[in-house]
Amino acid sequence: MESIPFLHANKTFTITFEDDLAFVEVRSILDQLLDSSAFDSEVQKYAEPYRLNCDDEVFKVWVMDMEVIIQREQLL
């Protein structure tokens, strides 16, 4: 797994991932998480992993503080 700092929407996130991700995928995932208030501490207390779509791909995403762990789901 690889981790990188990522600046988006005037916030710095730590993105952790296994597979190569396109910037458009990372930005889309972060926008969806921001829209769902995933970075709010009260939301994080009860949040399950997110299942998010970007184009034709599906991602399983975990959020802890400002760290985002992204796993591409394999289609069978």
Determine contact, residues 63/16, Cβ cutoff 8 Å. no
pLDDT of 6: 96
Its domain, for residue 44, covers 2-72
The structure's pTM equals 0.91
How many structural domains compose the chain? 1
Query: Tokens standing for 61?
Result: 């995403």
Q: Tens-digit pLDDT profile for the chain (76 aa)?
A: 899 999 999 999 999 998 889 999 999 999 999 999 999 999 998 889 999 999 889 999 999 999 999 999 976 5
> What distance lies between CA 15 and its chain's CA centroid?
7
